[in-house]
Chain A
Amino acid sequence: MGPLVPDLISNNLNFIVALVIGVLFGAILEQAGFSTSKKLVGLFYGYDFTVLRVFFTAGIVAMIGIMGLAHYGLIDMNLVYINPTFLWSAIIGGLIMGLGFVVGGFCPGTSVCAAAIGKIDAIIFIGGAFLGVLIFAEGYPIFEPLYKSSNLGSPTFFNMLGMSQNIFAFIMVAFALGGFWIASIVENKVNGIVKPPIRLTPYYIGIASIGLILAISAFIFPDKKVSLNELVSDNSFVEKYDIDTISVDELAFRLMDERDNKLQIIDFRNEKDYGKFSLPKSTLFTIDNLYEKEPNKLLTVKHKLNVFIAKDQIEARKMAIIANELGYKRIKVLSGGLQAFVDKILNFAEIENPKTIDEEYTNRFRTKAKSLLPVLIQNNKPKGPVKKELKRVIGGC
């Protein structure tokens, strides 16, 4: 599960990765023509919309790609850097940068790119940016109130607007495609080209179909969390869903068996209840843990049997269904739920005058379990909630 740093790729190797990514970044920008100020500002005077096309194509491709990765559980979005929002600082900073764009002809990334191929104006621009940072640093007491005001945390745009991720993504794709179309019309007008901006050639048909695929993709990658929560909100569905169960006696037996190292109990009750009473070999979990990278490791340990318990049986089944849908293996729920375990084992009342051999055995086993298990429970140290050791990556500029 991504991000690969710092597990698969160490923080030091990450610097090499940064270098390689930078080389590709620089090469793509240069090949696209971002190394000349005349082409860059063309966007604002209508004679060259290359920047708009490259920028928005890249933005929507990456956006849809991330939705896809998150949908298939390949990336833990809780660990990915989401730019924080300081509303007024973002707006005023953006306007200043916009002014800087038409005055200076570059933005920082493109200036580095242009400087690399010898553009003197770009080298001067970088010097200016360097001075700008110093001005900000030295004038920090003046900028600070604005810089730190209106902190909204790190919300996503669709959450802010209260719409679904899919609709927002679709709107962005449609916005980009519409932008490309209008840009082509304006560009031709400004440059005095009479040919229609979009013609029925394989080239335009190709672009339009890729755009259409992206627009549709906005809907085929729903937010997994939202869709799974919806799936388990139907109680009759939850009850019909086929999940393996484990009987209270088997659980009691395996809890008492010291050699059994395969059993692990995943407890979804709240922290308070868990603190009061927790079974041996159990770990406290939350529903969010199921989607996270760190807790994820616990559920994927080989050959372990994961028994899900929760405040009631239906809740445990819901969690098990979500885990099952997420592709986790060897998940079982406790038959009758935790309450049954408490009633039938821990508070076992002996069957009087056992008639069959089965009842005889039940009496014998449960009486033994009733005396042994409380000791194990007493000695058990509660584990969890699974701590997020991994912190969100610090990104941005």
Chain B
Amino acid sequence: MEETKYMNPYLAGVLLGLLLLATIYITGRGLGASGAIKSYAVTTVETIAPSHAESAKFYKEYKNEHTGSPLMNWLVFEVTGVLIGAFLSGLISNRLDFKLEKGPRTTTRIRIIGALVGGALWGIGSQLGRGCTSGAALSGLAVMSFGGIITMFAIFAGAYGFAYFFRKFWI
């Protein structure tokens, strides 16, 4: 069976916009992603090195801001949903497949290092930006937050600014 074509981007955009609107109306907050990764990171440290988690400032501040287990977190549930939703969508459209995607002129090794380093940069950047593309940029744009929109422009500026240096990764 052939892979089905992707949805029209404007239609997908309208659907995503309506979903974001419903999310804010129901819960008072927007969508997000990086916060879930943070919850898992904090949980891991609390489990493996509890004494460290009690003394280091970052974890202490996290504990002050969040009550209960870090995994009883709205974003952890939401991202679990993303996994399920994307999987089902991939299943329906026949896109399930284990594969490593890379640009035509790059090696697997470089792609793996790139993904790892890129992910790490997002890990750090999303903490400084207090959210990623979904939590800060998209949800911030919807509520017209100054910080969110600044982060959004900074992400685009950074990506376009650095794109030239990494063109061999992709084209």
Instruction: Give the Cβ gap from B92 to chain A, nearest Cβ, in Å.
Output: 9
- Interface residue A132 (Cβ < 8 Å from any Cβ of B): yes
Instruction: Give the Cβ gap from A71 to chain B, nearest Cβ, in Å.
Output: 13
Q: Give the nearest-CB partner of B62 in chain A.
A: A137
Decide yes or no: A98 and B101 within 8 Å by CB, A125-B118, A127-B116, A132-B123 being known contacts.
no
Within 8 A of A (CB), among B57-103: 57-59, 65, 72, 74-75, 77-90, 93, 95-103
Report the interface size for chain B: residues with CB under 8 A from the other chain.
126
- Interface residue A287 (Cβ < 8 Å from any Cβ of B): no
Point out the residues of chain B lying under 8 angstroms from A156, CB to CB: 143-146
Please state if A112 and B57 are interface contacts (CB–CB under 8 Å): no
- Interface residue A33 (Cβ < 8 Å from any Cβ of B): yes
Within 8 A of B (CB), among A80-98: 80-87, 89-98
Point out the residues of chain A lying under 8 angstroms from B159, CB to CB: 43-44, 98-99, 101-102
Which listed residue, A4, A33, A59, A155, touches B27 by the CB 8 Å rule? A4
Which listed residue, A101, A105, A136, touches B127 by the CB 8 Å rule? A136
Please state if A4 and B26 are interface contacts (CB–CB under 8 Å): yes
Instruction: Give the Cβ gap from A376 to chain B, nearest Cβ, in Å.
Output: 40
- Most chain B beta-carbon neighbours within 10 Å: one of A107, A111, A122: A107
Instruction: Give the Cβ gap from A94 to chain B, nearest Cβ, in Å.
Output: 2
Point out the residues of chain A lying under 8 angstroms from B133, CB to CB: 55, 97, 107-110
Please state if A59 and B138 are interface contacts (CB–CB under 8 Å): yes
Point out the residues of chain A lying under 8 angstroms from B86, CB to CB: 26-27, 29-30, 35, 112-114, 116-117
Interface class of chain B by DSSP:
helix
- Interface residue A170 (Cβ < 8 Å from any Cβ of B): no
- Interface residue B119 (Cβ < 8 Å from any Cβ of A): yes
Please state if A3 and B24 are interface contacts (CB–CB under 8 Å): yes
Within 8 A of B (CB), among A1-53: 2-5, 9, 14-33, 35-39, 41, 43-45, 47, 50, 53
Please state if A395 and B29 are interface contacts (CB–CB under 8 Å): yes
Instruction: Give the Cβ gap from A92 to chain B, nearest Cβ, in Å.
Output: 6
Please state if B15 and A3 are interface contacts (CB–CB under 8 Å): no
Contact-residue bracket for chain A:
35 or more
Please state if A130 and B37 are interface contacts (CB–CB under 8 Å): yes
Point out the residues of chain B lying under 8 angstroms from A93, CB to CB: 124-130, 151, 154
Please state if B24 and A66 are interface contacts (CB–CB under 8 Å): yes
Point out the residues of chain A lying under 8 angstroms from B57, CB to CB: 140-141, 144
Task: Compute how far the CA of A118 lies from the CA of B14 in the bound complex, rounded to whole angstroms.
Answer: 27
Q: Give the nearest-CB partner of B138 in chain A.
A: A59
Which listed residue, A56, A113, A396, touches B135 by the CB 8 Å rule? A396
Which listed residue, A3, A19, A30, touches B26 by the CB 8 Å rule? A3
Please state if A104 and B115 are interface contacts (CB–CB under 8 Å): yes
Please state if A54 and B12 are interface contacts (CB–CB under 8 Å): yes
- Interface residue A333 (Cβ < 8 Å from any Cβ of B): no
Please state if B139 and A98 are interface contacts (CB–CB under 8 Å): no
- Interface residue A232 (Cβ < 8 Å from any Cβ of B): no
Please state if A53 and B10 are interface contacts (CB–CB under 8 Å): yes
Instruction: Give the Cβ gap from A108 to chain B, nearest Cβ, in Å.
Output: 4
Task: Compute how far the CA of A395 lies from the CA of B126 in the bound complex, rounded to whole angstroms.
Answer: 14
Instruction: Give the Cβ gap from B80 to chain A, nearest Cβ, in Å.
Output: 6
Decide yes or no: A395 and B125 within 8 Å by CB, A32-B12, A93-B130, A124-B112 being known contacts.
no
Within 8 A of A (CB), among B101-149: 101-103, 111-112, 114-149
- Interface residue A253 (Cβ < 8 Å from any Cβ of B): no
- Interface residue A329 (Cβ < 8 Å from any Cβ of B): no
Decide yes or no: A117 and B58 within 8 Å by CB, A96-B121, A96-B128 being known contacts.
no
Task: Compute how far the CA of A270 lies from the CA of B117 in the bound complex, rounded to whole angstroms.
Answer: 57
- Residues of A at the B interface (CB closer than 8 Å) are 2-5, 9, 14-33, 35-39, 41, 43-45, 47, 50, 53-63, 65-66, 69, 74-75, 77, 79-87, 89-122, 124-138, 140-141, 143-144, 146-147, 152, 154-160, 165, 168-169, 172, 207, 210, 392-397
Q: Which 4 A-B pairs have the closest CB atoms?
A: A104-B118, A132-B123, A22-B81, A98-B158
- Residues of B at the A interface (CB closer than 8 Å) are 6-7, 9-10, 12-38, 40-42, 44-45, 56-59, 65, 72, 74-75, 77-90, 93, 95-103, 111-112, 114-163, 165-167, 169-171
10 A-B contact pairs sorted by A residue (CB < 8 Å): A22-B80, A23-B81, A25-B78, A83-B147, A93-B126, A99-B162, A117-B86, A117-B96, A135-B120, A394-B65
